Structure 1
Amino acid sequence: MSKLETSLIHEGEQFNTTNSVVAPIYQTSTYFADEDIASFAHAATAPKYPEFYHRHGNPTNSQVAAVIARLEKTEDALVLATGMAAISTAMLAAVQAGDHVIIQYAHYSAVLMFAREFLQQYGVEVSHVDQTDNAAFEKAIRPNTKLIYIETPSNPNLDITDLEFIGKLGRDKGIMTMIDNTFASPINQTPTDYGIDVVVHSATKYLGGHSDLTAGAICGTKDFVEKAWRRSLVLGASLSPFDSWLLLRGLKTLALRVRQINENALTLAQWLTKQPLIQKVNYVGLPSHPQHELAKKQMHGFTGMLCIEVAGDNDAVQFERAQHILNNLNVFSNAVSLGGVESLIAHPASMWGASQTEEQRKKSDITTGLLRISVGIEHIDDLIADFEQAFKKI
């Protein structure tokens, strides 16, 4: 098998049946049928068939899926229109009414909304646990538990879930395990090495890497991916041909981008720990992170995501200082999303205020002074200088 960097360039090339070095954009909704009725029937029913109808499959989508499956060391993968399309489709392929799901307190906010406003309304029971407490997962298991869904590092507070423990727990209890691996990226973390069954991504983030597309991915066994594909046919969140092509292009530089981002993030985190205006830096690559040793054990790199908590005597002061920092940064843009080549910063309490209760924010440690940073590939000297000049204006 080729090394990862080579696979990012060449995996799935069998789906490009042209002589073009760069895969074409198959900008078509439908394909000419074979004159043979049996062949047409096969195309209409075969999972992910790339040349029947776009909702079923697309040659570029197939190539992208092959690359992502190689990255996550799974048998197959399915690409969809958004990260939430991938997450919701995968979860609906795993559970049904009467089942029980275990999730964490700390998740991407839309996942918590999906659990609260969709799963439970359709008869799926949901339990929330502290992801840093292994015993809490085991204690939450019921006779009808069918899925343990985790996210590590978590968004935005960067807590770590013990992958080896969860993988073994799932196998021992006969429960499917599923992880959102977006924050880490497959360069920094390979959950299947620890027995996790299904991996999902917001491919909008590190996999695409240029903030110019939305996409999601589901990685798992051929049987599970086929089941998820059948769900996707009726849910309808197909990945567009152009976004698929952009994703394929972005994946080619994934290893290079993530390694530079990792380096920048660690240096920036170390510098921020020395700044009087910052009372806390939460980065899994720092020895001060309470789960640093676990992160070292299960991650190959420490990601480009970090959180800082602005110093202040009370919430109002923290909020005001956080606002000043956001207003005065020039290189860092105040924007949602993450994982791109450009550095971004956001205020989670404002971003998710409408979708999370106060209790949920407290359990996820989302304070008024918390800022989430997605470090890009700019020169580290410029990133540090940007914070320096912003701090001087407070």
Structure 2
Amino acid sequence: MLLPAVPPRVSPDLAGVNTELYILKQTHEPLFRKDDGQSFQSRILTKWSRTVDSTSFTFCPNTSLVFDPQRAFSAKVLRGHLDVVTRRFDATYTLAEDGGCITVGFRQGRKHYLDFLSLYENAPSMRTDVPNVEVGLGPFQVQSLAPEKIVLVRKKRVSEGYNEVVLHFYRGPGDPNLGNKRIVDFNRIPTADLPAWVAADYQSFSNTLLKSFNLIINHPDRSVRAAVYGCMDVDRLRRAYFPSQVEFHDIKSILPVGVPGALAGKPAQSCAMPKRPQGERRPLVFVNWRTDNDRQLQEFVEDFTRRTGIPVEIKKITLSALVDVVFKRPHPYQLMVIALDAVRPDHSAFLDYIIKKDGLIDFDLPQAKVLYGRMEREDDAAKRTALVSGITSDISREAAVLPLFQDVRRFYYPKEIRNFVIGKGFLEYPEIGELRL
């Protein structure tokens, strides 16, 4: 497959990163799954149990499994793993071993403990002799890791499936790998760069992602921010910035639908001109990291300036250069379109970059920050959602971020895959070990 960025290491610590999760889905296996969205199953335990009040959990490892030929899965390994990850969940836990099984105890009921153990960041993992590479209990392991390429190999070869996964760094529209028909997964590159032969020959499925595109409005004057927020036509801006994109799903806040507290529909806008100081005519710097929209975006900002009197200057920037400055104050922009995404419905993946000081803007949002702190400490789901609604409302009132759309992507897979089943998250993070040709 082609990747826009090759991760520097392979570890469950990075499971919150899309590309890293794709790899971990092949190399690691968490203690539990909820494939049907409701019931817990395990592929690496022979049996398990919990008490009715969820104060005690017992896990028995399948000791026939191995991380690699030198590292077996055992009760000792499981106990060490549970000791490390459970400490992050509740520091008051106890551990006991009996008959090759491990029992975890808590002072009070912990009904979400199995959900916690189902996360890929908490999957059993061991370090290897390969620098920056950990090995898990999944069907594949990393053979090599380099800045340009990662190679995964299946631990036990099969006759009717994929035995090797090669992940190449994507160099852009001129990349010769776009014509390489040995590559079968092009779902990580921009849709506009997709080779025509893939669209023609592959089966395709549309999928709405946990990914929102937003306009960051980084100006100290709230009245200027409010004018940009209220007067920038959302539909025209997103079509100018992404001229090749066809589908856009409207969202009212920075949160994509699927995250608790998110709402479908466009943000409420009211166009009012700011009172600008006499002689204050410095243009707003709008950074543009795309290469296919120069004409469309220029026409859009010229029309915006004609309507509002607010000058805007477009500044080209590469994605690599943007990454170097995007989390450092002061920022070299007043306007920037950016994607925020998550591998699961997680509020912090979208709010952290706006609320915290090392985020995307140069001013503080004190009310949102107070609510965010309360949200982080709240265990009740309904109360957390109410606090999230207050945070997103404050971000809108302060005109800090204008939501543009939730991403919808068409995923393409070879027709020769015989057992392709669409399930929750499968389109974006396929388990290659399950596929049969």
TM-score by length of 2: 0.24
Question: Quick one: higher RCO (CA 8 Å, sep 6+), 1 or 2?
Answer: 2
Q: Whose strand proportion is higher, 1 or 2?
A: 2
TM-score by length of 1: 0.26
Structure showing greater Rg: 2
